């Protein structure tokens, strides 16, 4: 598994340390373990978890690093921690807050932070629209909601100059067309995920 992960990271142009690769695999092991009790994700096969979850989330890193990793990042509807935990492992200087409306999912993130010794990772149990928090430089989501709901529910949490980044499957033309005039889509990036024959798309937005 480590070889597959290392090869995927190299293909994505990521230079991950041995410790980071081990942390990513340790996270995957925790996800598998807790999934048995907590039902964190429908994907249960270890090889599929590696490709469909871990490497898929890892593919968000190159665009994120090109944009510039922020000091504070929120991953909304993080579920079992995708992509938030992966970002926290790969970007140790970024403080990552994973927010989820389901308590056991936020508890799992807190467990990951403790077991993997990641002081920059936080799990918060809240509906994002009800959260009281300091603002963030970047808000991410993966399989969370439509672009309209994602941006409207989290707009209050953007710091001045901050942006949204949504991970989508196919190019979400209809969702983009439905966005209100005060949300600007400034970049749409097609991604290829090593080992996955599927379309991935990253939508970057900012308030107007
Ligand atoms: C389909 S899961 C995606 C989880 C993860 N991002 C992934 O890619 O595997 C969507 C998550 O959003 C959470 N969620 C839904 N509405 C929410 C809200 N208003 N605030 C915070 N979390 C919410 C759900 O509890 C669920 O865990």
- ipTM of this complex prediction, to 2 decimal places: 0.99
Ligand 1: list residues with CB < 6 Å: 41, 76-80, 82, 99-102, 105, 127-129, 142-144, 153
Residue nearest (by alpha carbon) to ligand 1 atom 14: 77
Question: Residue 67 pLDDT more than 90?
Answer: yes
CA distance 76 to 140: 6
Annotated binding residue 206 = no
E runs forming strands in the chain: 72-76, 95-100, 121-125, 136-142, 158-168, 183-191, 200-207
CA distance 85 to 79: 10
Burial profile 159-188: b = 16 or more Cβ within 10 angstroms, e = fewer: eeebbbbbbbeeebeebbeebeeebebeeb
Question: Residue 10 pLDDT more than 90?
Answer: yes
CA 199 to chain centre: 17
Residue nearest (by alpha carbon) to ligand 1 atom 18: 127
Domains of the chain: 2-207 (3.40.50.150)
Average pLDDT taken over every residue of the chain: 95
CA 40 – ligand 1 centroid, Å: 10
pLDDT digits 0-9 by tens, 103-134: 999 999 999 999 999 999 999 999 999 999 99
Mean pLDDT for 151-162 is 98
């Amino acid at each position: 598994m480590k070889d597959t992960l290392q090869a995927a990271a190299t293909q994505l142009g990521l230079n991950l340390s041995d410790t980071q690769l081990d942390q990513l695999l340790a996270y995957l092991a925790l996800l598998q373990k807790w999934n048995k009790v907590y039902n964190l994700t429908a994907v249960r096969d270890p090889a599929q978890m590696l490709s469909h979850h871990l490497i898929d989330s890892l593919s968000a890193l190159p665009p994120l690093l090109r944009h510039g990793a922020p000091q504070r990042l929120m991953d909304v509807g993080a579920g079992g921690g995708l992509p938030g935990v992966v970002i926290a492992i790969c970007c140790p200087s970024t403080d990552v807050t994973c927010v989820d409306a389901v308590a056991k999912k936020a508890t799992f993130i807190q467990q990951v932070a403790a077991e993997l010794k990641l002081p920059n990772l936080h799990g918060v149990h809240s509906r994002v629209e009800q959260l009281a928090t300091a603002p963030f430089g970047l808000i991410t989501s993966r399989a969370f909601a439509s672009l309209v709901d994602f941006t409207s529910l989290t707009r209050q949490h953007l710091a001045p100059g901050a942006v949204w980044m949504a991970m989508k499957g196919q190019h979400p033309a209809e969702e983009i067309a439905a966005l209100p005039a005060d949300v600007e889509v400034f970049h749409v990036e097609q991604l290829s995920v090593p080992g996955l024959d599927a379309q991935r798309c990253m939508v970057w937005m900012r308030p107007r």
